[in-house]
């Protein structure tokens, strides 16, 4: 197939958590796709990492429930 010229983001720095690394790495991309496991309850909640990325990212996010 055709190459889409997609380059992987740089590796996170040691000690950097996913909540910081994912939005930072997504700065050069137009969409973040994350797999999540929905949590039961009255409110929609996918977990701490997904919640932090949702709050910090400027890019659109597609959550894919497993």
Q: Given this model, what pLDDT does residue 11 score?
A: 65
Task: Identify the CA nearest to 33 among candidates 53, 2, 66, 63.
Answer: 63
* pTM of the predicted protein model: 0.60
Q: Given this model, what pLDDT does residue 2 score?
A: 64
Using the predicted structure, report yes or no on whether residue 40 has a pLDDT greater than 80: no
Q: Given this model, what pLDDT does residue 32 score?
A: 86
Q: Given this model, what pLDDT does residue 9 score?
A: 62
Task: Give residues with Cβ within 8 angstroms of 45, minimum separation 6.
Answer: 38, 39, 51
């Amino acid at each position: 197939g055709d190459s889409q010229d997609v380059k992987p983001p740089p590796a996170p720095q040691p000690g950097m958590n996913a909540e910081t690394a994912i939005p930072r790495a997504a700065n050069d991309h137009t969409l973040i796709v994350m797999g999540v496991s929905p949590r039961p309850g009255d409110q929609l909640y996918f977990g701490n990492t997904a919640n932090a990325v949702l709050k910090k990212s400027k890019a659109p996010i597609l959550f894919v429930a497993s």
